[in-house]
Amino acid sequence: MSNDIKMEKIVNLCKQYGFVFPGSEIYGGFANTWDFGPVGVELKNNIKKAWWKRFVQEDPKTFGVDAAILMNPKVWQASGHVESFGDPKMDCKKCKQRFRADTLIEEFSNGEVAAEAMSNEELEKYIEDNHITCPNCNGFDWTKIRKFNPMFKTTRGTLEDDADVVYLRPETCQGEYVNFLNVQRTTRTKVPFAIAQIGKSFRNEITPGNFLFRTIEFEQMELQKFSKEEDSMGYYEEYKRKAMEFAVDLGLDKEKLRYHDHDKLAHYAKAACDIQYNFPIGWEELNGIHHRGVWDLSRHSEFSGKKMEYQDPDTNEKYVPNVIEYSIGADRLTLAVLCNSYEEEKIGDDIREVMHFHPFIAPYKVAILPLVKKFHSNKAKEIYKIISKSFMATYDETGSIGKRYRRQDIIGTPYCITVDDETLNNETVTVRNRDDMSQITLKLEEIKEYINKNIEF
């Protein structure tokens, strides 16, 4: 599919057709917040459904949770967020813009230098030695690096006291770790098993932007696989493979996806890899797969005083399981899907704009279109009533049939059902395919099965 699409084009298109609107727009917006519109919410929900189906529904050893966003503040001490989470920030003294030092280096070196694992001193020295200037004003007058805590703080209770500070979670995974024992006990499952969750995270990102790519509020789809140490590397490789398969099956072009193994690792990590997608802004992280060792469960044992151990019922051996984490942003993936699906197709002198979504994630599976409003709308409405019990469907009776097809193409509706005299006389409809515009005739009672078969994921 054509993917030389510019970010600006996608942003405008999303606004025009009801995928995504700027947050709080009538008040002039609120930077880096976005509201999903009527078709955007369907698309994103379907992407989440596809993920859940693949990783939870189809895996008997993965269990879902939906943990609270506000957690005991001690969780964020255990996770290290309160003390040290935070990106290394430096300000340009000339233009007062703030940047992430590691990003400056990664951009300067075209991703050759693994800056995320460098100490502050190493980052400052590299920037100095290589004379990396401010991307905004080209100046070379940096402050020292400061750590900046990206957690949003709020207070619990009526007094705004420091003792009542709570945080909006900056990642969903802690909700999975703190429930490790609960899930294991209630499901009576043996290690290895996984806990999955989809939910909102909040980060006071210093350099948000690029539409849905980096926002201050976003949804993560994550799972943590708990296993014995000797099995953990196998699961790490398995999730690298499964994460790539999922992205490809969802419709992302293979040649726009690649693995990016991390050279330098967090002190507790045994391996880490991203899958990158070639966004309009270049190759960027789509998701991460991390081998986190026993770090998370051990830290929660330490801070909560509760032993986060598993006892093997066959051998009686007690141990802290290793964790493999697979984490992907639902909004970032939605952006990749939008960029990847868009095509401008030349038909004669005309341009057809179409979103080639996988039918499973298409906002509407089917559009019901009466050929002539006066004669066919009653029957079409009847059909809509029946079909919409099974699928998200839309109904459109205004404009020429050609225009109506185009309206469905750009929002990615895979099937258009035209209701005409044949429907009144013979109970048949014309079904038009979005991608190749071919048409077939189906009996009314065949529609449901036909769509069901063709939207499978």
Q: Please, what is the Cα angle at 310 between 298 and 292, to 5 degrees?
A: 40
Residue 206 beta carbon to ligand ATP: minimum distance, rounded to whole angstroms: 10
Is residue 287 involved in binding ligand ATP (CB under 6 A)?
A: yes
Of 206 and 410, CB closest to ligand ATP = 206
Residues 28-67 that bind ligand ATP (CB under 6 A): none
* Per-residue mark of binding to ligand ATP, 92-131 (x: CB under 6 A): ----------------------------------------
| Least Å from the CB of residue 201 to ligand ATP | 7
Q: Is 184 in the site for ligand ATP (CB under 6 A)?
A: no
Nearer to ligand ATP, 104 or 380 (CB): 104
Q: Does 203 bind ligand ATP (CB under 6 A)?
A: yes
- Amino acid letter for position 272: A
- Rule CB under 6 A: say whether 285 interacts with ligand ATP: yes
Burial 397-431 (b: 16+ CB within 10 A, else e): beeebeebbbbbbbbbbbbbbbbbeebeeeebbbb
Cα distance between residue 243 and residue 237, in whole Å? 10
> Does residue 89 bind ligand ATP (CB under 6 A)?
no
Q: Is 202 in the site for ligand ATP (CB under 6 A)?
A: no
What angle, 0 to 180 degrees and rounded to 10, lies between the N-to-C axes of helices 120-129 and 101-108? Answer: 40
Q: Which of 4-12, 325-333, 407-415, 427-435 is the region at the interface with ligand ATP (rule: CB under 6 A)?
A: 325-333
Within 211-230, the residues that bind ligand ATP by CB under 6 A are: 214-215, 218, 220
CA distance 135 to 104: 8
Q: Is 81 in the site for ligand ATP (CB under 6 A)?
A: no
Strand ranges (E), 163-293: 165-167, 193-202, 217-227, 257-261, 271-279, 282-293
With respect to ligand ATP, which residue has the nearer C-beta, 331 or 409?
331
% helix, strand, coil for the chain, step of 5? 35, 30, 35
| Cα 29 from chain centroid (whole Å) | 22
The residue among 294, 268, 238, 253 whose CA lies nearest residue 61 is 238
All residues at 6 or more sequence positions from 447 whose CB lies less than 8 Å from its CB, including other chains? 366, 383, 387, 417, 429, 431
182-190, 324-332, 366-374, 421-429 -> range binding ligand ATP (CB under 6 A): 324-332
- 276 in contact with ligand ATP (CB under 6 A): no
Distance, in Å, from the CA atom of 68 to the CA atom of 175, rounded to the nearest integer, reads 7
The closest of 70, 74, 133 to 104, measured between CA atoms, is 133
Torsion (CA) 156, 160, 161, 165 in degrees, nearest 10: 40
Compute the least distance from the CB of residue 228 to ligand ATP, in Å.
24
Using CB under 6 A as the binding rule, the residues of this chain from 144 to 173 that contact ligand ATP are: 171
The secondary structure element, H or E, covering residue 46 is helix 38-52
Closest listed residue to residue 224, CA positions, set 164, 184, 265, 255: 184
Nearer residue to ligand ATP within complex by CB, 176 or 205 = 205
- Give min distance, CB of 182 to ligand ATP, in A: 24
Choice between 120 and 388, CB closer to ligand ATP: 120
Q: Would you say 271 or 417 has its CB closer to ligand ATP? A: 271
In DSSP terms, 353 is beta-bridged to 344
CB of 51 to ligand ATP, least distance (A): 12
Q: Which is nearer to ligand ATP, 181 or 265 (CB)?
A: 265
**Residue 327 touching ligand ATP (CB under 6 A):** yes
Q: What would the DSSP string read from start to end of 258-306?
A: EEEE-SS--TT-SEEEEEEEEETTEEEEEEEEEEEETHHHHHHHHHH--
Which of 321, 329, 412, 414 is in the footprint of ligand ATP by CB under 6 A?
A: 329
Out of 102, 124, 205, 296, name the contact with ligand ATP by CB under 6 A.
205
Nearer of residues 247 and 387 to ligand ATP, judged by Cβ? 247
Report the SS3 class of residue 408: helix
| Whole-angstrom distance, CA of residue 253 vs CA of residue 278 | 10
Residue nearest to ligand ATP (CB): 329
The residue (of 5 and 336) whose beta carbon lies closer to ligand ATP is 336
Which residues would be at the binding site for ligand ATP (CB under 6 A)?
Answer: 171, 203, 205, 214-215, 218, 220, 285-288, 327-329, 331-332
